[in-house]
Amino acid sequence: MFESRFSDIEIPNVSIYEYLFGSLGADDLERTALIDPATGAETSYGALVAQINAFAGAMAVRGVEKDTVIGLLCPNVPAFATVFHGALRLGAIVSTINSLYTAEEIETQLRDAKASWLITVSPLLAQAKAAAAAVGIADDHLIVLDGAAGHPNLRELLTSGAVPPEVSFDPTTQLAVLPYSSGTTGVPKGVMLTHHNLVANVDQSRAIISLVPEDRVLAVLPFFHIYGMTVLLNLALRQRSSLVTMPKFDLVEFLTNIQNFKCTFLFIAPPIAVALAKHPVVDQFDISSVHTMFSGAAPLDGETGEAAASRLHARMLQGYGMTELSPVSHAMVANRTDVPVSSIGELLPNVQAKLVDVTTGEEITEVGENGETLPGELWVRGPNVMVGYLGRPDATAETLDADGFLHTGDVAVYHAGGYFSIVDRVKELIKYKGYQIAPAELEALLLSHPKVMDAACIGVLDDDKQEIPKAFVVAAPDSGLTAEEVMEFVASHVAPHKKVRRVEFIDQIPKSSAGKIMRRDLRAREAAAAG
């Protein structure tokens, strides 16, 4: 078993609200917590806490209490922090929803999470309203932050004058958030994370990720994603840094915000690293304020990472995590120069890991003459590991063993220098721009098309070495089905990141004797064609 070289830390046994805001000093209250680049408006830490308490009070008066489930469909705007932490202040459970989801996808998540409230913004109201109606959420329980007739809005809630009640709960068992993840396979499932999980992971991350109050963090990675929720929003707030919020990624706007607001720390995903390394427009902006880039959500290849770092004259770091890990288990240490950018860095404090041979099930412990172990599936244990999947004891048992180790589905090697690298994966998920896509979800959709006899999906690499979804399709005889028709059909039913971007027609989908799709065979076929 591999242990972190960092000493264990004592995780405070408090709510996430108390952990983030309970220790604010007089000087902290005046610091800028949030900046809205659309208006230039700044929210101080003092104002943010007042808004959080006002929102919590208003919601309590309306019947929200401990264990009430609230869906939050909202891009990165300052109000996200207010309503997210206002709900958690009450002991309510927040299920964050991808802003790109269709009404069907929103409905599926709301229904599974048993949400009785939904919070959104007017640009997303059409799909939010349709989904809310489908699951029985009334208009007075559908909050439109920036206002819409017939719905509560943030202004009226913040000015109601209601005081938040005293709420007591055990942080180690009280659920805080229900983000959705496909795990190692299957369709998205609600990941049950407690207040203690969230507190632990921020506290663990502080030991390695060196954010300081003087840093300005450009928050473009979505807060609804666990990476954005923990590492951008919560970690930055705990460190008293300033967050510059961006509702969506646009390269020119991204560079403009860095230049205008002198952003110093960028949390990014690999596609942004590719743009920073290669796009000519980068040279037109003064982004010299940036001293660190931290990439996560999907693997970043070393060549791209080094190119982006060289171009910006900044450090490029990488980390690793999963929604089920709250999400961080590994991160690179800023002052280590002997660790390659292609690695995921070291174990966080309080985290233990195993590498397990995927064929024999034997634990791998020996470092070879080349300074690294043989590859094995990465298993992780720590206070940041989820409680389980909502209503899915079967899936929980497959992922979380009796000893508390989470089986990540990723294949890693351990290096003598104390760091790890991801080299493959057992799990079948496709990671497009850091977003999880379950092949089974796309396959079920494809099979609903009358001209599709059978289908399978895998991730393949595009020209920038980024993973994209590809469908292998068995077309009905004489149907005349085209690749364009397949892609258009999928695109009409799913969020943009789930679109099938390549199609290959084949005679038969490879399957085991038990009928399971053999995606490894399809990956081998793809590798042979590329090679």
Euclidean distance between CA atoms 513 and 491, whole angstroms: 32
Instruction: Compute the half-sphere exposure of residue 391: CA atoms within 13 Å on the CB side of its CA.
Output: 10
State pLDDT tens for residues 474-516: 999 999 999 999 999 999 999 999 999 999 999 999 886 666 7
Between 411 and 116, name the one with better pLDDT. 116
Strand partners, 430: 437
Whole-angstrom CA distances from 369 to 356, 415, 418 are 19, 11, 15
Between 485 and 465, name the one with better pLDDT. 485
Classify burial at 319, counting beta carbons within 10 Å of its beta carbon; exposed 0-12, middle 13-18, buried 19 or more. Answer: buried
Inter-residue contact 71 to 107 (CB < 8 Å): no
Classify burial at 61, counting beta carbons within 10 Å of its beta carbon; exposed 0-12, middle 13-18, buried 19 or more. Answer: middle
Classify burial at 80, counting beta carbons within 10 Å of its beta carbon; exposed 0-12, middle 13-18, buried 19 or more. Answer: buried
Classify burial at 528, counting beta carbons within 10 Å of its beta carbon; exposed 0-12, middle 13-18, buried 19 or more. Answer: exposed
| pLDDT at res. 513 | 63
Euclidean distance between CA atoms 281 and 60, whole angstroms: 49
Distance of CA 281 to the CA centre of its chain: 28
Sorting pLDDT into bands at 50, 70 and 90, what band is 59? very high
Give just the sign of the alpha carbon dihedral 401, 405, 408, 413: negative
Neighbours of 357 (CB within 10 A): 14
Q: Which residues contact 376 (CB under 8 A, 6 or more apart)?
A: 354, 355, 356, 357, 358, 363, 364, 411, 412, 413
On the question of pLDDT at 274 being above 90, the answer is no
Classify burial at 506, counting beta carbons within 10 Å of its beta carbon; exposed 0-12, middle 13-18, buried 19 or more. Answer: middle
State pLDDT tens for residues 277-314: 989 999 999 999 999 999 998 888 888 899 999 999 99
On the question of pLDDT at 423 being above 90, the answer is no
On the question of pLDDT at 388 being above 90, the answer is yes
| pLDDT at res. 424 | 75
On the question of pLDDT at 426 being above 80, the answer is no
On the question of pLDDT at 252 being above 70, the answer is yes
DSSP structure class, residue 332: -
Q: Phi first, then psi: give them for residue 275, nearest 5 degrees.
A: -65, -45
Separation of first and last alpha carbons in the chain:
37
Inter-residue contact 257 to 218 (CB < 8 Å): yes
On the question of pLDDT at 519 being above 70, the answer is yes
Closest CA to 19 of 104, 70, 82, 88: 88
Among the listed ranges 196-200, 355-359, 405-409, which one has the minimum average pLDDT value?
355-359
- Asked if residue 439 has a cis previous peptide bond (ω within 30° of 0), the answer is no
Buried b (16+ CB within 10 A) or exposed e, 156-190: ebbebebebeebebebeebbbbbbbbbbbbbebbb
| pLDDT at res. 515 | 67
DSSP structure class, residue 362: P
Average pLDDT over residues 212-230: 96
Average pLDDT for the chain:
94
| pLDDT at res. 514 | 61
In the chain, % of residues over pLDDT 90: 84
Euclidean distance between CA atoms 372 and 420, whole angstroms: 9
On the question of pLDDT at 220 being above 70, the answer is yes
Q: To which residue do tokens 């954005």 refer?
A: 228
pTM for the model: 0.88
On the question of pLDDT at 527 being above 90, the answer is no
Beta strands in 246-333 (DSSP E): 265-268, 292-295, 315-321, 328-331
Euclidean distance between CA atoms 298 and 331, whole angstroms: 13
Alpha helices in 279-419 (DSSP H): 302-312, 393-399
Mapped onto helix, strand or coil, the DSSP state of residue 295 is: strand
**Is residue 276 within a helix (H) or strand (E), and if so which, with residue range?**
helix 270-278
- Which tokens in the block code for residue 217? 């963090």
Euclidean distance between CA atoms 152 and 145, whole angstroms: 8
State pLDDT tens for residues 151-209: 999 999 999 999 999 999 999 999 999 999 877 667 889 999 999 999 999 999 999 99
